[in-house]
Amino acid sequence: MTQSVFGMRGIAVAPHSLAAESAVSVLREGGNALEAMIASAATIAVVYPHMNSIGGDGFWVINGPNNRPGGIDASGRSAQAASRDWYAARGLTQNIPFRGGVAALTVAGTISGWGAAQQLSKRHLNGKLPLSRLLADAIYFANQGIAVTQSQAACTALKRSELQAQHGFASTFLPDGQVPIQASIFKQPKLAATLTLIAKEGCDTFYRGKLAKMLAAELTQVGSPLTLADLKAHQAKLVDPLHTAIGHGRLFNMVPPSQGLLSLLILGIMDRIQGWDHDPEGAAFVHAQVEATKLAFSIRDQYLTDPAFMSIAPQDLLTPARIDALAARLDTTRAAAWGQKTSPGDTVWMGAIDQSGIAVSFIQSIYHEFGSGVVLPTSGVNWQNRGCSFSLNPTHINTLEPGKKPFHTLNPALAQRSDGSVMVYGAMGGDGQPQTQATIFNRVTRFGDHPQQAIERPRWLLGRTWGQSSDSLKLESRFSANTIDQLRLLGHEVETIGAWDEGVGHAGMLLRHANGVLEGGFDPRSNGAVASF
C-alpha cells in the first residue's frame, strides 16, 4: 500500500498531478492556499477537460486565520428567460434535456469564485501574486497541449455518440474526427486565448467585460436562454458553511444549493451508532453507513433547493435532536428499502494547505461528463448542464424558476478535529461524493488509517455516479467474499464492480497536524497526486 505524502511548508492534492504541482509552485513562491487553489483550479480545467471546465460552477470551504471557517458559493442562477413556459414552447414539458443549448441554462459561476478568492487573499492574507501568474500554467497547457489521460480517452469514447452532434464538441474534443488516444497531445487554443484574456482583464471580464459580451453572443448562437444581463447579474457569494459537532471535532460543509447538508448528516448519524467501527472493510461499517446515507437522502430530497426557496433554515436541519431522531431510525440488522434514483455527475475535488494553516477544500464541476456538450465557438468554453437538474413539474421542490439556483451535488468538506488537526477532504461523483467523504473520514478518524490508506482501501457506492445506470449497492471487487455475503444477508442488493473503479469517485484528503506537519493522500483511481514541500 502506498504511504501518505508529508510536507512542512505547503501541500496540495488534485485528481491530476499537474494541478497539484501548479498549486505547490504558487506556495513555493510565497503564495497562500487561496492563490494556490486558483492556480490549481485553472490548470485542472485544462488538463481534465472531461470532468470540469471554466464553464461550470465552484464551491470553496476555507479554514481561515485563527481557524475561522468561511466559504464561497460560486454557483450560477438560471437565466431570467428560463421559465417552464419557455421550455413548453419548445415541446419540453417533462424534463430538461441533459445536452445541448437548452441544457446550458445556468450562469457558469466558477470564475467568479476565483475572483472572490483572490480578493479575500489580498484583503486578509497579504496575497500579492497577480492573476497572470496564477493562470500561467493553465494557459501554457492549453496552448502547448496536454498528454491525454486514459480517463479522458475512455470518457470521450463512451460519450462520443451522444455528444458529437453538439455545437463545438467534435471540433474541440475529437481532433481529426477521432477520439484522442492516451498519451497523445491535446491542445485547446481557443480556451488558451480566453484564459489569457481573463489573466489580463481580471475575473470580472467573464461577467461584465469584453469576454462577457462574447459569451452572451455565443450562448444565443447555440440556443441557450442565457443573456448578457444574466451574466452581469452574477456575483459569487461569501457564506458561512454549515456545521455540526461530533465526538471527534467540528465538521463543515457548503450551504445549499449544495448538498453539503447530506455529508454532515451521514457523519452525524454514524457518530451516534455503535458497533460498526471494528473493521474498515467489514459489513458492519458498510451497512451502517449505507443506512445512514438513505436517511440523509430522505432529508435532502424533502428540503434542499436554492436557499431562497427553502421552507426551513438549512442549519436548523442539523440540530442534535433532528440527527438523534434520524439515528434512532437506523436498523443495524436489516437494510431499509431503496428504490430511489440518484444523480450521476462529474466533478473534481482539490485541496491545499499552506504553512500558516490556511486550508482550502474546493470543488469545480460542469455536472455530467462534458457538461451540456456545447463548446462555445469563439471562446472555447465547454458550458455546464447543471440546470438540467431542475424539474419542470411545478410542485417539485427543485422546480425551474427564472433566476433560481439549481440543486448541486457538489460539496467540499472541512473538519477541525479535537486533536488540534485540520482536515480537508472530498471526492467527485454526484451522489457518491458524501458517501466517499464519510468513508475516508471515518477510516482515518475511527479506524486509524493514514489518508492514503483510507483512500486506497476498496470503496462502495449506493446508487449511480457518472457512467452508471443502476441504483444497486456497488462494491469494488477487492472486498472480501465474506463482507459481500454478509451484506446480501442484511438485505442489500449488491453488485460488484471493478477492483479500482472510477465509479466510486476520485477522492483526496489533506491533514495539518497539531504540530504543523502536513500529510496527504490521493486517489490511484485518478491521474492525481499529492505535491508538497
- Helices 189-201 and 136-144: angle between axes, nearest 10 degrees: 160
Cα–Cα distance measured from residue 328 to residue 269, given in angstroms and rounded to the nearest whole number: 9
Residue 480 makes CB contacts below 8 A (sequence gap 6+) with 281
Cα–Cα distance measured from residue 372 to residue 419, given in angstroms and rounded to the nearest whole number: 44
Q: Are residues 171 and 259 in the same domain?
A: no
Cα–Cα distance measured from residue 205 to residue 232, given in angstroms and rounded to the nearest whole number: 10
Quickly state the pLDDT bin for 428 (edges 50, 70, 90). Answer: confident
Specify if 276 maps to a domain: yes
Find where cell 465552484 sits: 58
Q: Are residues 216 and 90 in the same domain?
A: yes
| pLDDT for the residue 343 | 56
Quickly state the pLDDT bin for 341 (edges 50, 70, 90). Answer: low
Q: Enumerate the H helices of 210-346 as residue ranges.
A: 210-221, 228-233, 260-272, 283-303, 320-328
pLDDT for residue 262 is more than 70? yes
Question: To the nearest 10°, the Cα dihedral for 511, 512, 514, 515?
Answer: 120
Q: Are residues 33 and 120 in the same domain?
A: yes
- Total structural domains within the chain: 2
Specify if 401 maps to a domain: no
Specify if 400 maps to a domain: no
Whether residue 347 lies in the annotated active site? yes
Question: Is the CB of residue 361 less than 8 Å from the CB of residue 18?
Answer: no
| pLDDT for the residue 468 | 52
Measured at the alpha carbon of residue 103, what is the angle toward residues 102 and 105, in degrees to the nearest 5?
80
| pLDDT for the residue 465 | 57
| pLDDT for the residue 345 | 59
* Collapsed DSSP state (helix, strand, coil) of residue 16: strand
pLDDT for residue 467 is more than 60? no
Q: Are residues 185 and 113 in the same domain?
A: yes
Cα–Cα distance measured from residue 518 to residue 11, given in angstroms and rounded to the nearest whole number: 7
Q: Are residues 338 and 368 in the same domain?
A: no
| CA 220 from centroid of its chain's CA atoms | 28
- Residues of the domain holding 180: 14-234+356-389
Question: Is the CB of residue 80 less than 8 Å from the CB of residue 230?
Answer: yes
CATH number at residue 450: 3.60.20.40
Find where cell 450560477 sits: 76
Q: Are residues 368 and 514 in the same domain?
A: no
Q: Are residues 116 and 199 in the same domain?
A: yes
Quickly state the pLDDT bin for 432 (edges 50, 70, 90). Answer: confident
| pLDDT for the residue 266 | 98
Bridge partners (DSSP) listed for residue 494: 473
Specify if 8 maps to a domain: no
Specify if 396 maps to a domain: no
Question: Is the CB of residue 430 less than 8 Å from the CB of residue 363?
Answer: no
pLDDT for residue 344 is more than 70? no
Cα–Cα distance measured from residue 92 to residue 105, given in angstroms and rounded to the nearest whole number: 14
> How many other C-beta atoms lie within 10 A of the C-beta of residue 409?
27
Q: Are residues 19 and 156 in the same domain?
A: yes
- Helices 432-445 and 283-303: angle between axes, nearest 10 degrees: 140
Q: Tens of pLDDT along 94-136?
A: 999 999 999 999 999 999 999 999 999 999 999 999 999 999 9
Q: Are residues 164 and 250 in the same domain?
A: no
Residue 89 makes CB contacts below 8 A (sequence gap 6+) with none
pTM to 2 decimal places: 0.96
Q: Are residues 200 and 270 in the same domain?
A: no
Among 10-19, 63-72, 462-471, the least confident range: 462-471
| pLDDT for the residue 53 | 96
Q: How far is CA 137 from CA 15, 50, 131, in A?
A: 16, 18, 11
Specify if 265 maps to a domain: yes
Q: Are residues 192 and 115 in the same domain?
A: yes
Q: Tens of pLDDT along 294-334?
A: 999 999 889 989 999 998 999 999 999 999 999 999 999 99
How many Å is the maximal CA-CA distance in the chain? 62
Cell numbers standing for residue 155: 470518457
The residue among 371, 389, 407 that closes a domain is: 389
| pLDDT for the residue 338 | 85
Q: How far is CA 476 from CA 209, 281, 460, 464, 495, in A?
A: 48, 11, 6, 14, 9
| pLDDT for the residue 347 | 82
Q: Are residues 209 and 324 in the same domain?
A: no
Cell numbers standing for residue 64: 481561515
Phi, psi (5° rounding) for residue 42?
A: -65, -45
Mean pLDDT, to the nearest integer, of 159-183? 97
DSSP letter at 41? H
Nearest Cα to 282, choosing from 160, 57, 175, 442? 442
Q: Which of 106, 156, 347, 409 is catalytic?
A: 347
The fraction of the chain above a pLDDT of 90, given in percent, is 93
Quickly state the pLDDT bin for 524 (edges 50, 70, 90). Answer: very high
What are the DSSP calls for 202-238, one per residue? -TTHHHHSHHHHHHHHHHHHTT----HHHHHH---EE
* Collapsed DSSP state (helix, strand, coil) of residue 323: helix
Residue type, 168: G
What is the pairing mode between strands 494-497 and 473-476? parallel
| pLDDT for the residue 430 | 75
Specify if 4 maps to a domain: no
The fraction of the chain above a pLDDT of 70, given in percent, is 97
Q: Tens of pLDDT along 347-381?
A: 899 999 999 999 999 999 999 999 999 999 999 99
Specify if 426 maps to a domain: yes
- Total number of residues shown for the chain: 533
Average pLDDT, the chain: 95
Bridge partners (DSSP) listed for residue 124: none
First to last CA, the chain: 22
> How many other C-beta atoms lie within 10 A of the C-beta of residue 328?
11
Cα–Cα distance measured from residue 132 to residue 109, given in angstroms and rounded to the nearest whole number: 20
